[in-house]
Amino acid sequence: DSGVTQTPKHLITATGQRVTLRCSPRSGDLSVYWYQQSLDQGLQFLIQYYNGEERAKGNILERFSAQQFPDLHSELNLSSLELGDSALYFCASSPQALGRSEQYFGPGTRLTVT
């Protein structure tokens, strides 16, 4: 158990819909990262927040957005969903801002878009 929690574990929704994935980092960790893992693209970094502020952006689509709240939990919002958005979405946390440290991954949310 990494100490990072993600909800829900599974999510099935239809194309065009919007969903919100939630992540609670390890106690004391200020950085939260979001990743997408699909069969054809592998693990892709989406976005990082540090202490409530966006720190780095990766391959995140404009239809996706994220935020980190004052209690440090984070939400990833996926809108206008397409079949290709079906993937595992992982959240990770670390104590530092720079990313040069061990990241602890949550168990992931499996999103299926039908």
Partner 1 sequence: GESVGLHLPTLSVQEGDNSIINCAYSNSASDYFIWYKQESGKGPQFIIDIRSNMDKRQGQRVTVLLNKTVKHLSLQIAATQPGDSAVYFCAEIHDYKLSFGAGTTVTVRA
**Token pair for residue 16?**
């065009």
Residue 103 as a binder of partner 1 (CB under 8 A): the answer is: yes
Residue 62 as a binder of partner 1 (CB under 8 A): the answer is: no
Q: Which residues lie below 8 Å from residue 108, measured CB to CB, with a gap of 6+?
A: 6, 9, 37, 88, 89, 90
Out of 12, 18, 43, 83, name the contact with partner 1 by CB under 8 A.
Answer: 43
Window contacting partner 1 (CB under 8 A); options: 10-18, 22-30, 38-46, 66-74 = 38-46
Binding site for partner 1 (CB under 8 A): 2, 4, 33, 42-45, 48, 55-56, 58, 90, 92, 98-108
